[in-house]
C-alpha cells in the first residue's frame, strides 16, 4: 500500500520523538524522502509523492553499498577474522632434509733436526825413534747437522645434514573467492548495523533464491565446503595420531613396569637363596609385644 511521507513519519513519531524536530529543516526532509525513494516504489498523487516498500530495491541498495565497501580491503580486524581466517585452509608440514658437504684442508709441517753434539777427540802423543819427538795431534771436531722437513697436507671432508620443516597450505583461495568473501562480509555487516534481524533473514533468502542471482556466490560456497571437508579430515587425522601416540606410550610404560618387576623378583630370589634356614625361621616368629634389644642397653 502506498503512503505519503507525512503518514510514515507520523507512524514512527512515538518510537522516534526526536524525528519531528529534525524534520523542521527542509534539507533533511528532502534527503530522507530521496533515500526512501531508493528502497520504495513511488507514485505521484497530485503534488504529493507516495511510497511503498520494495524488498528488491532494498537488496540492490545494500548490495551496492557492500560492493563499494569491498572494492578495497576491509578494516584489518574484519579482514583478518572474517576473510583471511575463514578462507584459511589446513596446513601440512613437510620436512625437507638437505646435506651440505664442506671440505677443509689442513697443512702440517714437521721439521726434524738432528744435530750431533761436537765430539772432540784428542790424539795421544806417540814416541817415535830415538830422537824422542813428541807430536800432539790437533783436535778434530766433527759436527754434522741433518735437517729433514716433511709437509703433510690433509683434507677433511665434513658433511652437515640440516632438516627444515616447511608449512604448505593444502588449498589456496583464488582472488575471485577472496573478493566474494569480502563482499559477503560487507553485506552481513551492513545488515547487522541498519536492518532488523527478521528483515535480514528475508534479504539473505531472497539473495540466494533470486534467478538470476545478483551475485553468484557458487565458487565461494564450493570452496568453503571443500575447506570444511579438509578441516574434518585434519581433525580426524590429528585425533588418530594422538591415539597412536598414547598407545605407544602405554606400551612403553607397561614394558618398563614389567622390567622393574622382573628385576625385583630376581633380586628377592637371590636374597632368599643366600639366607639360611634358621634366618628364614626367625622371620616367621611373632615378635608382637617383645622388647627390642636396644631397650636393654639404654643409659640409666
Q: Say what the pLDDT of residue 116 is.
A: 41
Q: Say what the pLDDT of residue 173 is.
A: 85
Q: Say what the pLDDT of residue 279 is.
A: 78
Cell of 53: 516498500
Q: Say what the pLDDT of residue 188 is.
A: 93
Give 294's DSSP letter.
G
Query: Do the beta carbons of residue 91 and residue 170 sit within 8 Å?
Result: yes
Q: Say what the pLDDT of residue 178 is.
A: 92
Helix%, strand%, coil% for the chain, nearest 5: 50, 25, 25
Q: Say what the pLDDT of residue 65 is.
A: 93
Which pTM value belongs to this model? Answer: 0.53
Q: Say what the pLDDT of residue 24 is.
A: 79
Per-residue pLDDT of the chain (300 residues; tens, 9 = 90+): 788 888 888 887 777 778 877 877 888 888 888 988 999 999 888 888 889 999 999 999 999 999 999 988 899 999 999 999 988 887 765 555 555 555 444 444 343 344 444 433 433 433 343 343 333 343 343 333 333 434 444 444 445 555 555 555 567 889 999 999 999 999 999 999 999 999 999 999 988 888 888 888 989 999 999 888 888 887 777 766 665 565 555 667 778 888 888 888 888 888 877 777 787 788 788 888 788 878 788 876
Angle between helices 197-209 and 55-70 (to 10 degrees): 90
Q: How far apart are CA 223 and CA 23, in angstroms?
A: 48
Q: Say what the pLDDT of residue 250 is.
A: 66
CB atoms within 10 A of CB 19: 14
Cell of 177: 573467492
Q: Which of 168, 178, 188, 169 is nearest to 223 (CA)?
A: 178
Q: Say what the pLDDT of residue 160 is.
A: 55
Please tell me whether residue 138 adopts helix, strand or coil conformation: coil
Amino acid at each position: 500500500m502506498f503512503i505519503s511521507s507525512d503518514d510514515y513519519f507520523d507512524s514512527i513519531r512515538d518510537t522516534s520523538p526526536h524525528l519531528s524536530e529534525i524534520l523542521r529543516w527542509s534539507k533533511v526532509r528532502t534527503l530522507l524522502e530521496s533515500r526512501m525513494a531508493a528502497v520504495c516504489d513511488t507514485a505521484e498523487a497530485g503534488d504529493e509523492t507516495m511510497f511503498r516498500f520494495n524488498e528488491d530495491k532494498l537488496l540492490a541498495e545494500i548490495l551496492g553499498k557492500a560492493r563499494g565497501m569491498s572494492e578495497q580491503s576491509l578494516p584489518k580486524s574484519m579482514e583478518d577474522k572474517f576473510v583471511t581466517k575463514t578462507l584459511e585452509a589446513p596446513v601440512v608440514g613437510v620436512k625437507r632434509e638437505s646435506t651440505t658437504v664442506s671440505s677443509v684442508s689442513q697443512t702440517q709441517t714437521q721439521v726434524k733436526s738432528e744435530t750431533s753434539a761436537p765430539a772432540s777427540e784428542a790424539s795421544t802423543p806417540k814416541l817415535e825413534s830415538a830422537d824422542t819427538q813428541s807430536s800432539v795431534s790437533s783436535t778434530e771436531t766433527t759436527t754434522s747437522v741433518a735437517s729433514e722437513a716433511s709437509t703433510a697436507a690433509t683434507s677433511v671432508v665434513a658433511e652437515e645434514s640440516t632438516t627444515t620443516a616447511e608449512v604448505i597450505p593444502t588449498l589456496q583461495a583464488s582472488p575471485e573467492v577472496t573478493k566474494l568473501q569480502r563482499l559477503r562480509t560487507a553485506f552481513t555487516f551492513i545488515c547487522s548495523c541498519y536492518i532488523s534481524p527478521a528483515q535480514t533473514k528475508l534479504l539473505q533468502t531472497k539473495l540466494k533464491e533470486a534467478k538470476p542471482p545478483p551475485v553468484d556466490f557458487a565458487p565461494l560456497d564450493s570452496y568453503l565446503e571443500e575447506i570444511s571437508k579438509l578441516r574434518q579430515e585434519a581433525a580426524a587425522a590429528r585425533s588418530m595420531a594422538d591415539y597412536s601416540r598414547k598407545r605407544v606410550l602405554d606400551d612403553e610404560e607397561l614394558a618398563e613396569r614389567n622390567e622393574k618387576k622382573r628385576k625385583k623378583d630376581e633380586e628377592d630370589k637371590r636374597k632368599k637363596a643366600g639366607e639360611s634356614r634358621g634366618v628364614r625361621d626367625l622371620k616367621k616368629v611373632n615378635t608382637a609385644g617383645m622388647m627390642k634389644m636396644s631397650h636393654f642397653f639404654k643409659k640409666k
